[in-house]
Chain A
Amino acid sequence: MVRKSSRRAAFGLMFALATTGAFAAEQDPADGCTRFTWDVSHELAVMKQTPQSITAGTKSNGADSPLIALGTLYELKLAPQSTVQFAVKPGKPTLDDSAQAGMVRFLAPAPGRYRVSITSGHWLDVVADRALVKSQDFQGARGCERPHKIVEYDLPEARELTLQLSGATAASVIVAITPVKASPTN
């Protein structure tokens, strides 16, 4: 009932012991960016833009949160997390210690899947009508710094939303929001 080749060979561990000197070279960050399993060519292209520097908001009513455009690269200056009044409590609460946080607003022009790409490990929340929008999936690629991770959201209708960043110590982060043009899972 079982189709087998050489069972030993099939089960064998390929323990390729590279003798590349005492210490292997650090992984090339550019090489790491090829390891996303989604088609992230659009996000990688946007990440090559020169980012616009802006300061993220800290007030829960969004009064000081800048409006950012899709497909444009920004460098967000964040604030100590303990000073940020989030629109909604972050989906994953973290210790405030040394953490930096902030908010921006963006407009989703049509319903569909969108990606938020960032260069840090911040926890991301998208907020609509003072409720968190459930993320659909995320990816990161070890060795890729720009972006460090990409999170996907299905946004239901054309509307303005809030992006919250929390829970990491980087004081500035490069971020871009892009619509997903291909099939959701690529």
Chain B
Amino acid sequence: MRARLWALIAVAFAGCRASLPLDAPEIGVVEEPDAHVPQPWRPLTAEEQSKFDLGLATFNTEWVPANAPSGRIDGLGPLFNSQGCDACHNSRRRGRGPRGDGEAPADLVIQLGRRLRGGGIERGIDAYGHVLNTAAVPGFTREASVRIQYDGEIRILPDGTRVALRMPRYAVTDLSGPPPPANTVLMPRMPPPLHGVGLLELVPRSTGRFGWQATEPTIALQTASAMSREMGLTTTLVGHIDCGHADTACTQAPMGGTPEVEPQLFDALVFFQRLQAVPIEPARATSGERLFAAIGCTACHSPTLSIRTPAHEVRTIHPYTDLRVHDLGSGLADRDVSGAPVLSKWRTAPLWGLNASVRSGQPLRLLHDGRARSLDEAILWHDGEGRAARTRFEHLTGAERRELTTWIEGR
């Protein structure tokens, strides 16, 4: 009965096809024994290797406040969340995220928006900009502090297995300015992994693809936005920082140059991200892949996409995403300050490179706000367009669920 169900599901999703052929040679993955030594997904010339290395060094560098001392790496803040890319993106893996109740870690960023009357969210609010900056350089005051408190919930699966889920609540205190308006929406966001983003940029699409909600179309814009909003650094693409409109101390703060991130460094940083490969584990024989397709995960977590490389070659990649946004239900939706969910659509999270986070030995923190401590939890949070697949997951045997999640952890 179950096999027949799977067969029907597989047929149902067989019609999904990208515009480029899906049987071209694979590209983009390497075995990466040391996460500190990223590899490019194609051979580099000596000049390109130098640029790749400069980009990695820029990625790892801690920025300092303007004129402290002056040079290529000053201009941090005055308001910020972290001092460098790597401080949040954790060797290009997903962020470490919150461990439990208490002060929100620096890598869990609270983005801000305004709930619109007709539905949807407009990003940014006048008083604090797009992001609550929870740190400031000396002489300035951070915008707020954020604490998390988790409420527990037990999900009981059909076979009697109990899974503890946790729902975050956020307390924003110590505001440096006026209380935000009642229609303010808090949007907690974890740093996503960066492996293979250059290959995702090559997928033929006309809309956004980066960020938890596919809001940015290119790596360069995503990087420039993050530097502006979370580090207070201007670039050639974004020439302002994320001050509240009335925060004159912030808007009139000394700058570390114009732009603060020198074009050569910014270009190298983008180049590095475009070229870094996806780490893989040696393939293991497992039924997990079959289960992944059979319960319908592949409807959104597309195993194969086609790209056209800069050398005009058609290649396939296996990112396990369709790069599209989906409604996953109110449980995962962002909420306004009254606690009401606001329709939120999430880009299908790419699963490739997850093995790097697993191999790091650090606790996993999954989903956009890091609430899920395991793949089981992450899957059980799926609702809305993901409900059918989640329900089938719940009806697997315990052994099948382990086969599936172990396989996903090896992506």
Contact = CB atoms under 8 A, between A and B. Distances in A.
A123 B84 CA distance: 12
A98 B60 contact: no
Contact of A19 (B102, B171, B179): B179
Interface stretch (B19-27, B230-238, B295-303, B334-342): B334-342
Given A15-B171, A94-B61, A23 B141 contact: yes
B339 A12 contact: yes
B173 A16 contact: yes
Interface stretch (A3-11, A51-59, A67-75): A3-11
Given A18-B174, A93-B57, A37 B99 contact: yes
Contact of B362 (A23, A94, A98, A137): A137
Given A93-B60, A136-B361, A13 B339 contact: yes
A168 B62 contact: yes
Contact of A20 (B174, B184, B337): B174
A93 B34 CA distance: 14
Contact of A16 (B61, B71, B172): B172
A3 B169 CA distance: 18
A27 B146 CA distance: 13
B389 interface: no
B219 interface: no
A23 B102 contact: no
A17 interface: yes
Nearest to A91: B36
Contacts of A11: 167, 169, 330-331, 335, 339, 341
A13 B62 contact: no
B135 interface: yes
A35 interface: yes
A78 B61 CA distance: 17
A48 interface: no
B73 A95 contact: yes
A167 B60 contact: yes
Interface string A156-186: 0000000000011100000000000000000
Given A22-B176, A98-B74, 10 more contacts: A2-B153, A9-B339, A11-B167, A12-B338, A13-B335, A15-B171, A16-B171, A35-B102, A98-B69, A169-B62
Given A35-B103, A94-B61, A18 B173 contact: yes
Shortest Cβ-Cβ A-B pairs, 10 listed: A12-B339, A24-B174, A15-B337, A17-B179, A23-B141, A92-B60, A91-B36, A18-B173, A14-B171, A94-B61
Contacts, number: 128
A77 interface: no
Nearest to B102: A35
B3 interface: no
A38 B321 CA distance: 37
Nearest to B154: A3
A94 B36 CA distance: 12
Interface of B: 36, 53, 56-58, 60-62, 64, 68-69, 71-74, 83, 86, 91, 99-100, 102-103, 106, 134-135, 141-142, 145, 149, 151, 153-157, 167, 169-177, 179-180, 184, 186, 265, 330-331, 335-339, 341, 361-362
Contact of A93 (B56, B141, B177, B361): B56
Interface residues of A, number: 42
Given A2-B155, A13-B337, A92 B71 contact: no
Contacts of A123: 60
Interface in A68-115: 91-95, 97-99
A1 B155 contact: yes
B339 A94 contact: no
A137 B157 CA distance: 34
Q: Which of A15, A17, A26, A132 has the most CB of B within 10 A?
A: A15
Nearest to B177: A22
A142 B103 contact: yes
Nearest to A12: B339
Contact of B62 (A18, A23, A94): A94
A137 B185 CA distance: 33
A98 B73 contact: yes
Contacts of B170: 13-15
A94 B60 contact: yes
A110 B257 CA distance: 50
